[in-house]
Amino acid sequence: MEYCACGSKKPADECCSLILSGKRDAATAEELMRSRYVAFTKIDVDYLMRSHHSKTRPVKERKSIERWSRSVQWMGLTILSTEAGKENDLTGVVVFRALFLANGELQQLQERSFFERENGKWVYVSGVHF
């Protein structure tokens, strides 16, 4: 059994794989955040675009996102905090830290990510790195 790369300690086929494949929608902003992390590990740029708010979707950066994703090795995701973003909310915030190797050097990405519902589904709007 393969565990999900999102760090949930759930089997992959019962976690983010269902969301990436479209078999179910993310129920919370945190689930969407976790699924987007997994999409980066799998270089699933189609999902990254689909799960991004239509008003802020970086369509012109698609190739550079794919290139960067291929150049790093993801080492793990830690959710630091969440604000709202539950099943009945319209907006949410997830603060996370993702570790990755780039050019053999361990680095981290910390971000305060903003999520909204668009057409009833959670989508990523934007984030602030710190």
Task: Note the pLDDT tens digit of each residue in 14-65.
Answer: 999 999 999 999 999 999 999 999 999 999 999 999 999 999 999 999 999 9
Determine the Cα–Cα distance for residues 76 and 14; give it in Å rounded to an integer: 19
Q: How far apart are CA 69 and CA 65, in angstroms?
A: 6
**Segments forming the whole domain that contains residue 84:** 12-129
Residue 1 confidence (pLDDT): 82
- Cβ neighbours, 10 Å, residue 1: 7
Consecutive H or E run containing 38: helix 29-42
- Count of structural domains within the chain: 1
Does the pTM surpass 0.85? The reply is: yes
Query: Which has the minimum average pLDDT: 1-5, 33-37, 82-86, 94-98?
Result: 1-5
At residue 96, the pLDDT reads 98
Residue 69 belongs to domain with CATH number: 3.10.450.50
Tell me whether residue 7 is in a domain: no
In a domain, 3, yes or no: no
33 in any annotated domain: yes
94 contacts 115 by C-beta, under 8 angstroms: yes
